Amino acid sequence: MTSKNFLFSALLLVLAGFVAAGADGYWWRTPMPAAASASDLPDPAAEYGRLRQRYQTVDSAMDVSGMIRIYDGEHNGKLKEIQPFRSVRSSRQYYWQIGYLRNWYDGSILLVVDTMHRRMTVSRPVSDNLQSTGPYKMPADLLFSDTARFRLSGTVEQEQGQRTLTLHSDYNPEIRVCRVYYDTATYRLHRTEIEWWKDLSGRDTAAGKVWLAKVEYTYCPPRIDICKEMRTFITVGANGVTPTLPYANFDIKVNF
Protein backbone atom coordinates (compact mmCIF):
# COMPACT_ATOMS: atom_id res chain seq x y z
CA MET A 1 0.00 0.00 0.00
CA THR A 2 1.43 3.38 -0.94
CA SER A 3 1.93 6.18 1.57
CA LYS A 4 -0.93 8.18 0.10
CA ASN A 5 -3.26 5.19 -0.08
CA PHE A 6 -2.80 4.06 3.49
CA LEU A 7 -3.22 7.60 4.79
CA PHE A 8 -6.58 7.94 3.11
CA SER A 9 -7.55 4.42 4.15
CA ALA A 10 -6.87 5.52 7.71
CA LEU A 11 -8.98 8.63 7.30
CA LEU A 12 -11.86 6.58 5.97
CA LEU A 13 -11.63 4.21 8.91
CA VAL A 14 -11.47 7.00 11.44
CA LEU A 15 -14.07 9.25 9.84
CA ALA A 16 -16.46 6.89 8.07
CA GLY A 17 -17.99 5.01 10.94
CA PHE A 18 -16.18 1.84 12.00
CA VAL A 19 -18.37 1.93 15.10
CA ALA A 20 -21.53 3.04 13.26
CA ALA A 21 -24.86 1.75 14.48
CA GLY A 22 -27.83 0.50 12.50
CA ALA A 23 -30.67 2.74 11.41
CA ASP A 24 -32.95 0.83 13.78
CA GLY A 25 -30.50 1.02 16.67
CA TYR A 26 -27.26 -0.78 17.43
CA TRP A 27 -26.53 -4.37 18.35
CA TRP A 28 -24.21 -5.23 21.21
CA ARG A 29 -22.93 -8.78 21.36
CA THR A 30 -21.66 -10.63 24.46
CA PRO A 31 -19.03 -8.40 26.06
CA MET A 32 -15.40 -9.41 26.14
CA PRO A 33 -14.02 -10.53 29.52
CA ALA A 34 -13.82 -7.47 31.76
CA ALA A 35 -10.93 -6.47 33.98
CA ALA A 36 -11.27 -7.08 37.70
CA SER A 37 -11.65 -3.34 38.39
CA ALA A 38 -14.40 -2.92 35.81
CA SER A 39 -17.21 -3.54 38.30
CA ASP A 40 -17.31 0.17 39.19
CA LEU A 41 -17.33 1.32 35.57
CA PRO A 42 -20.37 1.84 33.32
CA ASP A 43 -21.52 -0.74 30.82
CA PRO A 44 -19.66 -0.43 27.46
CA ALA A 45 -22.90 -0.42 25.49
CA ALA A 46 -24.29 2.40 27.63
CA GLU A 47 -21.07 4.41 27.22
CA TYR A 48 -21.19 3.94 23.47
CA GLY A 49 -24.77 5.22 23.48
CA ARG A 50 -23.84 8.32 25.52
CA LEU A 51 -20.93 9.17 23.21
CA ARG A 52 -23.09 8.71 20.14
CA GLN A 53 -25.80 10.96 21.61
CA ARG A 54 -23.19 13.60 22.51
CA TYR A 55 -22.14 13.94 18.86
CA GLN A 56 -25.52 13.65 17.19
CA THR A 57 -26.83 17.04 18.28
CA VAL A 58 -27.26 18.67 14.87
CA ASP A 59 -28.01 22.20 16.02
CA SER A 60 -24.84 22.61 18.07
CA ALA A 61 -21.82 24.78 17.29
CA MET A 62 -18.32 23.31 17.37
CA ASP A 63 -14.85 23.94 15.99
CA VAL A 64 -12.61 20.87 16.16
CA SER A 65 -9.07 20.70 14.87
CA GLY A 66 -6.14 18.41 15.38
CA MET A 67 -3.65 16.04 13.84
CA ILE A 68 -3.93 12.61 12.27
CA ARG A 69 -0.80 10.48 12.55
CA ILE A 70 -0.22 7.11 10.88
CA TYR A 71 2.26 4.64 12.37
CA ASP A 72 3.70 1.39 11.02
CA GLY A 73 3.38 -1.35 13.65
CA GLU A 74 5.60 -3.68 11.64
CA HIS A 75 8.57 -1.29 11.85
CA ASN A 76 8.72 -0.34 15.53
CA GLY A 77 5.82 2.09 15.27
CA LYS A 78 7.59 4.34 12.78
CA LEU A 79 5.66 7.52 11.99
CA LYS A 80 4.69 7.35 8.30
CA GLU A 81 2.20 10.17 7.73
CA ILE A 82 0.92 13.26 9.52
CA GLN A 83 -1.93 15.51 8.42
CA PRO A 84 -3.82 18.34 10.11
CA PHE A 85 -7.60 18.42 10.02
CA ARG A 86 -10.34 20.83 11.01
CA SER A 87 -14.12 20.59 11.27
CA VAL A 88 -16.41 23.50 12.03
CA ARG A 89 -20.15 23.26 12.56
CA SER A 90 -22.51 26.15 13.18
CA SER A 91 -26.17 25.16 13.29
CA ARG A 92 -26.78 23.44 9.92
CA GLN A 93 -23.63 24.75 8.25
CA TYR A 94 -20.21 23.18 8.35
CA TYR A 95 -16.62 23.36 7.13
CA TRP A 96 -14.37 20.28 6.90
CA GLN A 97 -10.70 20.09 5.91
CA ILE A 98 -8.01 17.42 5.76
CA GLY A 99 -4.78 18.44 4.10
CA TYR A 100 -5.50 19.92 0.68
CA LEU A 101 -9.19 18.88 0.67
CA ARG A 102 -11.70 21.46 1.87
CA ASN A 103 -15.48 21.25 2.08
CA TRP A 104 -18.14 23.84 2.86
CA TYR A 105 -21.89 23.50 3.28
CA ASP A 106 -23.93 26.68 3.78
CA GLY A 107 -27.25 24.92 4.34
CA SER A 108 -28.01 24.80 0.62
CA ILE A 109 -24.86 24.28 -1.45
CA LEU A 110 -22.00 21.86 -0.91
CA LEU A 111 -18.59 23.05 -2.17
CA VAL A 112 -15.62 20.66 -2.33
CA VAL A 113 -12.22 22.19 -3.17
CA ASP A 114 -9.06 20.24 -3.99
CA THR A 115 -6.29 22.85 -3.76
CA MET A 116 -3.56 20.45 -4.89
CA HIS A 117 -5.20 19.41 -8.14
CA ARG A 118 -7.03 22.75 -8.62
CA ARG A 119 -10.53 21.29 -8.76
CA MET A 120 -13.92 22.29 -7.38
CA THR A 121 -17.22 20.45 -7.19
CA VAL A 122 -20.48 22.25 -6.39
CA SER A 123 -23.63 20.26 -5.62
CA ARG A 124 -26.72 20.09 -3.49
CA PRO A 125 -26.98 17.28 -0.91
CA VAL A 126 -29.75 14.75 -1.38
CA SER A 127 -31.16 15.96 1.94
CA ASP A 128 -30.65 19.19 3.86
CA ASN A 129 -30.30 17.10 7.01
CA LEU A 130 -26.77 17.52 8.34
CA GLN A 131 -26.84 13.90 9.50
CA SER A 132 -27.01 12.72 5.87
CA THR A 133 -24.09 14.65 4.45
CA GLY A 134 -21.78 11.66 4.31
CA PRO A 135 -18.01 12.01 4.71
CA TYR A 136 -18.25 15.75 5.35
CA LYS A 137 -19.61 15.34 8.86
CA MET A 138 -17.58 16.06 11.95
CA PRO A 139 -15.08 13.26 12.69
CA ALA A 140 -16.88 12.43 15.91
CA ASP A 141 -20.29 12.55 14.20
CA LEU A 142 -19.24 9.83 11.81
CA LEU A 143 -17.71 7.78 14.56
CA PHE A 144 -21.14 7.51 16.18
CA SER A 145 -23.53 7.79 13.23
CA ASP A 146 -26.52 5.68 12.20
CA THR A 147 -25.40 4.63 8.74
CA ALA A 148 -24.90 0.88 8.70
CA ARG A 149 -25.34 -2.28 10.72
CA PHE A 150 -22.42 -3.29 12.93
CA ARG A 151 -22.28 -5.74 15.81
CA LEU A 152 -20.00 -4.40 18.52
CA SER A 153 -18.36 -5.53 21.73
CA GLY A 154 -16.23 -3.52 24.08
CA THR A 155 -14.66 -2.76 27.43
CA VAL A 156 -14.39 0.41 29.52
CA GLU A 157 -11.34 1.54 31.49
CA GLN A 158 -10.76 4.68 33.51
CA GLU A 159 -7.72 6.64 34.71
CA GLN A 160 -7.55 10.16 36.17
CA GLY A 161 -10.84 11.50 34.82
CA GLN A 162 -10.42 9.95 31.38
CA ARG A 163 -12.18 6.85 30.13
CA THR A 164 -11.21 4.56 27.32
CA LEU A 165 -13.84 2.66 25.36
CA THR A 166 -12.25 -0.19 23.41
CA LEU A 167 -14.38 -1.51 20.56
CA HIS A 168 -14.36 -4.51 18.25
CA SER A 169 -16.69 -5.05 15.29
CA ASP A 170 -17.81 -8.44 14.00
CA TYR A 171 -18.38 -6.97 10.56
CA ASN A 172 -14.95 -5.40 10.03
CA PRO A 173 -12.27 -8.13 9.94
CA GLU A 174 -9.73 -5.60 8.64
CA ILE A 175 -9.99 -3.61 11.90
CA ARG A 176 -8.01 -4.98 14.81
CA VAL A 177 -9.33 -2.57 17.43
CA CYS A 178 -10.72 0.93 17.92
CA ARG A 179 -10.03 2.89 21.11
CA VAL A 180 -11.91 6.05 22.06
CA TYR A 181 -10.51 8.31 24.82
CA TYR A 182 -12.96 10.79 26.34
CA ASP A 183 -13.79 13.01 29.30
CA THR A 184 -15.95 11.41 32.00
CA ALA A 185 -17.90 14.61 32.75
CA THR A 186 -18.63 15.99 29.27
CA TYR A 187 -18.18 12.89 27.06
CA ARG A 188 -16.02 15.01 24.79
CA LEU A 189 -13.47 13.03 22.79
CA HIS A 190 -9.80 13.57 23.59
CA ARG A 191 -8.46 11.25 20.90
CA THR A 192 -9.19 8.11 18.96
CA GLU A 193 -6.94 5.27 17.82
CA ILE A 194 -7.67 2.65 15.19
CA GLU A 195 -5.45 -0.31 14.37
CA TRP A 196 -6.11 -2.15 11.11
CA TRP A 197 -4.41 -5.09 9.49
CA LYS A 198 -2.14 -4.48 6.52
CA ASP A 199 -3.92 -7.45 4.96
CA LEU A 200 -7.35 -5.82 4.66
CA SER A 201 -9.01 -9.24 4.43
CA GLY A 202 -8.09 -9.75 8.07
CA ARG A 203 -6.61 -13.17 7.37
CA ASP A 204 -2.93 -12.30 7.93
CA THR A 205 -2.90 -11.34 11.60
CA ALA A 206 0.78 -11.86 12.31
CA ALA A 207 2.07 -9.77 15.20
CA GLY A 208 2.85 -6.20 14.28
CA LYS A 209 1.39 -6.28 10.77
CA VAL A 210 -0.88 -3.31 11.42
CA TRP A 211 -1.24 0.37 10.65
CA LEU A 212 -2.14 2.60 13.57
CA ALA A 213 -4.04 5.87 13.13
CA LYS A 214 -4.04 8.31 16.05
CA VAL A 215 -6.37 11.30 15.94
CA GLU A 216 -6.11 14.13 18.47
CA TYR A 217 -8.87 16.71 18.97
CA THR A 218 -8.74 20.37 20.02
CA TYR A 219 -11.99 22.30 20.59
CA CYS A 220 -12.74 26.01 20.16
CA PRO A 221 -15.85 28.15 19.53
CA PRO A 222 -16.51 28.45 15.76
CA ARG A 223 -14.18 31.13 14.38
CA ILE A 224 -15.07 31.34 10.70
CA ASP A 225 -17.97 32.66 8.64
CA ILE A 226 -18.75 29.63 6.47
CA CYS A 227 -20.88 31.46 3.89
CA LYS A 228 -18.32 34.25 3.55
CA GLU A 229 -15.45 31.81 3.03
CA MET A 230 -17.40 29.87 0.40
CA ARG A 231 -17.93 33.08 -1.57
CA THR A 232 -14.18 33.66 -1.76
CA PHE A 233 -14.07 30.58 -4.01
CA ILE A 234 -17.32 30.76 -6.00
CA THR A 235 -19.95 33.21 -7.15
CA VAL A 236 -23.56 32.04 -7.43
CA GLY A 237 -25.75 34.14 -9.71
CA ALA A 238 -28.27 34.14 -12.53
CA ASN A 239 -25.63 32.73 -14.88
CA GLY A 240 -24.85 29.81 -12.62
CA VAL A 241 -21.83 29.04 -10.48
CA THR A 242 -18.39 30.38 -11.44
CA PRO A 243 -15.02 30.48 -9.66
CA THR A 244 -13.91 33.82 -8.27
CA LEU A 245 -10.94 35.54 -9.89
CA PRO A 246 -8.21 34.06 -7.61
CA TYR A 247 -9.44 30.55 -8.56
CA ALA A 248 -10.33 31.17 -12.20
CA ASN A 249 -7.83 28.49 -13.29
CA PHE A 250 -9.53 25.77 -11.20
CA ASP A 251 -11.59 23.13 -12.99
CA ILE A 252 -15.17 23.38 -11.74
CA LYS A 253 -17.94 20.79 -11.92
CA VAL A 254 -21.48 21.79 -11.05
CA ASN A 255 -23.85 18.93 -10.24
CA PHE A 256 -27.17 20.73 -10.16
pLDDT in tens, 85-134: 888 887 778 888 888 889 999 988 999 999 999 999 999 876 554 444 44
Q: Which of 12-26, 135-149, 156-170 has the lowest mean pLDDT?
A: 12-26
79: pLDDT confidence band, cut at 50, 70 and 90?
Answer: very high
CA–CA gap between residue 121 and residue 46 (Å, rounded): 40
HEC string of 163-214 equals EEEEEEECCCCCEEEEEEEEECCCCCEEEEEEEEECCCCCCCCCCCCEEEEE
Cβ contacts of residue 79 below 8 Å, gap of 6+? 69, 70, 71
Average pLDDT over residues 188-206: 80
pLDDT in tens, 147-194: 444 566 778 888 877 899 888 777 677 778 888 898 888 888 888 898
The answer to whether 110 and 241 are in contact (CB under 8 A) is no
